Amino acid sequence: MTDVSPSQPDHEPAEQAAVEDTATVAADEAAPVSDEAAAAEATPASARPAPAPTPRAMPVPRPPARRAAVAPLPAAAPDSFGRVDDDGTVSVREGDDWRVVGQYPDGTPAEALAYFERKYVDLAGEVTLLEVRHRNGGASASDLRSTLATVRERVVGAAAVGDLAALEARLGALDAALSEASAEEAQAQREAVDAAIAERTALVERIEALAARDPKSIQWKQTTADIGELFAQWQAHQATGPRLPKSTGQQLWKRFRDARATLDKHRREFYSGMDEQHRAARDAKARLVERAEALASKGEDGIGAYRTLLDEWKSAGRAGKKADDALWARFKAAGDALYAARSEREQADAEESREKIEAKRALLAEAAAVPQEKDLVKARTLLTGIQRRWDEIGRIFPREAERGLDDELRKIEHGVKAREDADWKSNNPETKARQNDMTQQLRDAIAALEADLEKAKASKNAGAIAKATEALEARKGWLKALGG
C-alpha cells in the first residue's frame, strides 16, 4: 500500500513527460473527475475551508486542433471504479473485486480520488499515444510492440483509479494489430532483401562480365570509368539499401572485389605493356628524325630518301601523344625544308620558262596551217620542221603548262598520221592487186549467176529464180563496194 501524506510532495511519474510531449491526445480524452471534486470546485473560494497541502496536480495534455481526434477515454467516475475509506485508503474496482492502490490521509476523498484518477489519465494517454503512432505510421510495428509491452507492465496492477480493464483491452487489440503489421513488415523486409540481393548480384555480374573480356580488346579509359560507376553504385546501395544476410553479403562482395582486382591487374599490365611499346616507338622515331634532319644538305635530291623514312615512320607505332607530337614536329620540319628547296627550284624554272611558253605557243599558231594543207607530203614536211624547233626549245615548268602545250601539238600530229594511213591503204600495190583479183572473181560469179537465172526462168522454177536473183544482187553489191 502506498502511503501519501500532504507533507510528502508528489513526484511526476516518468511516463507523464511522454504524454506532455505528444500532441496527439484529443481534448475530449481528459479523464472526468468525481462528483465530489466537481462540487468542491463549484463552491466559492470564500466558503471553502483552507485546503491542506496536496500533491501537485498533473497537467492533461491538449493536442493541436489540426490533429484528428482519437477515441475518448472511458469515464472513470469514483462511484464506478474508485472508493476512499475513512482512513484515506483508496481502492480501485476490478470486476467484482476491489484492490487497494494507496493512501491519501491528508486530503478530502475527492482529492484522493482525483490524484489516483490522474495516474489513470497518464496511463490512458500512453495507450492513446501508441494507438495514434500506429495509425499515423512512421514507426515500425516491432518497435511499437516493444513499447506496448512496457506500457502493459505499468497498466497491469497500476496504482490508479479508472477503467484499467478497458486499457488492457485496448492494449490487447493494439497488440493484435501490431502483430499483423509486424508480419507484413517482415514480409516486406524479406522482399526488400531479395530485391537488394538481386540488385547487388546484377552489379557483380556486370563487373564479372568486364573482367572476363580479353584485356587486349578492352578500351581501358571507358572501362575504368565503368568500374568506378559500378563501385559507386555498390557503395550507394550498401549505404541506403536494406541490410543483407552476412553470408550472402560477404559472398557477393568477395565476387565483386575479386572481379575488380582482376580488372585492376589487367589494366596495370596493359599500361605497363603500352609504356614499353611507347618507349620502343619513341626510340625508333627519334632515330628516323635524326636521319631526316641529316638529309637537309641534299636539298631537293633528299626527297626520295625522306619518303622512304616517312613509310618507316608510319609503321613505327605510337609513342604516346606528347612524344609523338614533339617528334613529328621535328620530322615534318626536316621534310618541309626538302620540299621548300624543290619549290624554290620550280619557281626559278617557271620564271625561265615564260619565254619558252611563248615560243611554243607561236609554233602552235604556225602548226594550225598543217591540217589545212591538202598536199600530204607538204603537210608532213611543215609538221616535221615545227616538231624539230619544238624540241629545241626544251622543257617547260611547271609541268602542267608543258603538258597542255604538248597535247595541242599532239592533236595535229595525230591528224597528219591518220591522213598518211588512209593514203597508204589506198595506194598500196599489194592491196590494189588483191582488190583487182577479187573484182574479177566477182565479175565471173555474176556472169555465172546470170546464166543460172536465165535457165531458171526458162524452166519456170520459182524457187530457183528467187535463189539466183538473191545471189546475183549480193555479188553486184560487193562489186560496187570494190569500185568495180
Burial class (CB in 10 A: 0-12, 13-18, 19+), 336: exposed
339-347 LR contacts (CB < 8 Å, sep 24+):
339/303, 341/299, 341/300, 342/299, 342/300, 342/303, 345/300, 346/397, 346/398
| pLDDT class of 432 with cuts at 50, 70, 90 | low
Cis peptide before 398 (omega within 30 of 0): yes
Q: What DSSP line would sit under 409-476, residue for residue? A: HHHHHHHHHHHHHHHHHHH-HHHHHHHHHHHHHHHHHHHHHHHHHHHHHHHT-HHHHHHHHHHHHHHH
Q: Nearest-CA neighbor of 126 among 25, 11, 26?
A: 25
Per-residue model confidence as pLDDT tens digits over 288-320: 888 888 888 888 788 888 889 888 888 888 877
Q: What average pLDDT score do residues 224-230 get?
A: 92
pLDDT at 74: 41
Three-class secondary structure of residue 388 per DSSP:
helix
Domain positions in the chain are 80-185, 200-273, 275-345, 349-426, 427-483
Q: What average pLDDT score do residues 403-429 get?
A: 82
Residue scoring higher pLDDT (250 or 434): 250
Per-residue model confidence as pLDDT tens digits over 349-380: 777 778 888 888 888 888 888 888 888 888 88
| pLDDT class of 122 with cuts at 50, 70, 90 | very high
| pLDDT class of 22 with cuts at 50, 70, 90 | very low
| N- to C-terminal Cα separation, the chain | 164
Lowest mean pLDDT: which of 88-97, 197-206, 426-435? 426-435
| pLDDT class of 484 with cuts at 50, 70, 90 | low
User: Alpha-carbon distance 157 to 99, whole Å?
Assistant: 9
Residue scoring higher pLDDT (65 or 110): 110
How many alpha carbons fall within 13 Å on the CB side of residue 225? 3
Per-residue model confidence as pLDDT tens digits over 30-67: 333 333 333 333 333 333 333 333 333 333 333 333 33
Reading the block at residue 114, the C-alpha cell is 482525483
